Amino acid sequence: MRWAYDAQTSPISPTEFLSPTPEDSYREYALHPAERVHAVFQRLWLALVLEDTGVLDLDPETLNTNTRPPGPNLFGGINRELTIGLWRQLRGDSNRPSKPVQASLDFLLDHPQVLISALRQSLLQMELNAKQHYSGDQPLGTCPFDASTRLKASPEGTIYCPREQDLSHQPTGPVGMSMLLAHHYKPRIGDLEWVEELVGIRPGQHVVDIGAGTGSYTFPLAERVGHSGKVLALEIDPSLIEYLEFMTLALQTPNVESVENLEEDLLLPDSVADLVLIVDLDRCSRLPSEFFSGTLGEQIRDSLKPDGHLVILRSYSTPSYEVYEEILAPKGLVLKAREQRLTRELLVFQQP
C-alpha cells in the first residue's frame, strides 16, 4: 500500500506536538490517551512520508513484521528540533535549521533504514509507555539496548539491561540512531556549567568523554577547550562512532577525536587528561560494579594528569554514590566533591 503525502489535504498537522517550547514538552506528558495515539500516528506517518518522498527505499516488512520486541527510546519521544527539521525539509520549507541539526538530518537521511527502524522503535516504545502509564504500572526504566526486557531493578536499584545478562549482546545501529533522535547534541541544561564551577574547563585542556553517545557533551566541550584543546569521545557502539565522526566534520571541530573502545580496554594513553567525564553511563549500560570490574578504573586513573579529575554526572537515584566511592577508592581515585541539584548528582574524583 502506498501512502500519498499531500501537505494540503493531510489531516495531520505537525505543529501541535512538534513545537519546540518547554511548555509543550511538558504538555505532551499530560496528553489524554487518545491524543497520545494521535501523536504516535503522527510519528508513524512521518516515517511513511519519508518513504513516499523517495528519500527512503523502505521494505514494508520493516514496519509490518514484529520480529523485534518493542525497542529503545530513552525519553519516549523524538528530538523535537530534529523532527521539525525533517518535516520542514520534506515539505520543501526554505527555513533551514541550525547547522548541527542540518548535519544530523543529512546523516539520518543517509542512513534511511536505520532511521526508519529507530522511528518504529520509538513508536512502539511510546505505545508501551502509554499502556503502562494508564494501566497504573510504573515502568522501572527503559533500556535503550533492548526494551523487550523491561528489566527488574537490582538490589542497588539500577536497571539491568541485556548487556548485563548476556555479554554477547552488542548495541546495534538502530539503537544508536534512536539515541540520536532522542538526544541530539544538547547537554542537559546547566550540566556543563556545573562541571565548570567545580573543576573548571579551560581552553587548551584535554577532556575524555566516556560513553559519548551522540556527542551531547562532546561538542559543547570541544567549544570550551578550543582549538588548542582536545576532546576524546569514547563509544562502544560503532554506529555512534560513525555519527560522531560525521558530526566532527560537519561541525568543523577537528579537536574532537572519536574512538571505539572495547569492553575491557578504553584505549587511553597515560597522563593525558585534565578531565575524564562520564555522563549517564549507568542510565543504560553497566552497573558501576561491572563497568569497573576489570581495570577500567585503573585505566582512567592512569589517563589523568596528576591534578586531573574524573567527573561522574548522573541521575542520583540509582545506585548510591557510595558504590562508586567504594569501587574507585581502591583504584586510587578519591571522592573530592559530591553535589546534588534536582535529580542530578555530580561526583568529582581525583588521585590522592
Ligand X SMILES: C[S@@+](CC[C@H](N)C(=O)[O-])C[C@H]1O[C@@H](n2cnc3c(N)ncnc32)[C@H](O)[C@@H]1O
What residues line the site for ligand X (CB under 6 A)?
171, 179, 183, 210-213, 216-217, 234-237, 240, 261, 263, 279-281, 283-285
| In the complex, minimum distance from the CB of residue 230 to ligand X, in angstroms, rounded to a whole number | 18
- Per residue, the 3-state secondary structure of 126-144, as one string, reads HHHHHHHHHHCCCCCCCCC
Residue 339 neighbours by CB under 8 Å, 6+ apart: 194, 198, 345, 346
Q: Work out whether strand 304-315 and strand 344-350 pair parallel, antiparallel, or are unpaired.
A: antiparallel
Residue 37 or 281 with smaller CB distance to ligand X: 281
Instruction: List all residues 6 or more positions away from 316 whose beta carbon is below 8 Å from its beta carbon.
Output: 340, 343, 344, 345
Whichever of 235 and 274 has its CB closer to ligand X, that residue is 235
Contact yes or no for 112/55 (Cβ under 8 A): yes
Among candidates 285, 275, 306, which has minimal Cα distance to 200? 275
Q: Is residue 28 a contact partner of residue 17, using CB atoms and an 8 Å limit?
A: yes
Q: What minimum distance in Å lies between the beta carbon of 284 and ligand X? A: 4
Residues 228, 236: Cα–Cα separation, whole Å: 26
For ligand X, the closer CB: 63 or 140: 140
Q: Which residue matches cell numbers 523487550?
A: 148
Cβ distance to ligand X smaller for residue 16 or 263: 263
Q: Give CA–CA dist 281/236, Å, rounded.
A: 11
In the complex with ligand X, the residue whose CB is nearer, 48 or 74, is 74
Nearest residue (CB) to ligand X, 126 versus 143: 143
Tell me the closest approach of the beta carbon of residue 339 to ligand X, in angstroms.
18
Is residue 18 within 8 Å of residue 84, measured between CB atoms? yes
Provide the minimum distance between the beta carbon of 291 and ligand X in the complex, in angstroms, as a whole number.
6
Smallest gap, in angstroms, from Cβ of residue 6 to ligand X? 37
Q: Among candidates 165, 135, 133, 167, which has minimal Cα distance to 148?
A: 165
Residue with Cβ nearer ligand X (56 or 277) = 277
| Closer residue to ligand X, CB minimum distance, 39 or 210 | 210
CB of 312 to ligand X, least distance (A): 11
Q: Closest distance between ligand X and the C-beta of residue 320, in Å?
A: 19
Range 67-84 burial, b when 16+ CB lie within 10 A, else e: eeebbbbbebbbbbbbbb
Which of 108, 179 has the CB closer to ligand X?
Answer: 179
Cβ proximity to ligand X, 234 vs 328, nearer residue: 234
Q: Which pairs with CB-CB distance under 8 Å and at least 24 residues apart come from 318-324?
A: 318/153, 318/156, 318/157, 318/158, 318/159, 318/282, 319/154, 319/156, 319/157, 319/158, 319/282, 319/287, 319/288, 320/156, 320/157, 321/345, 321/347, 323/156, 323/288, 323/289, 324/288, 324/349
Shortest separation between residue 34's beta carbon and ligand X, angstroms = 31
- The least CB distance from residue 183 to ligand X, in Å, is 5
Task: Name residue 294's amino acid.
Answer: G
Tell me the pairing of strands 206-210 and 334-341: unpaired
Taking CA 12 as the corner, what is the angle to CA 57 and CA 4, rounded to the nearest 5 degrees? 35
Supply the minimum distance, in Å, between the C-beta of residue 247 and ligand X: 13
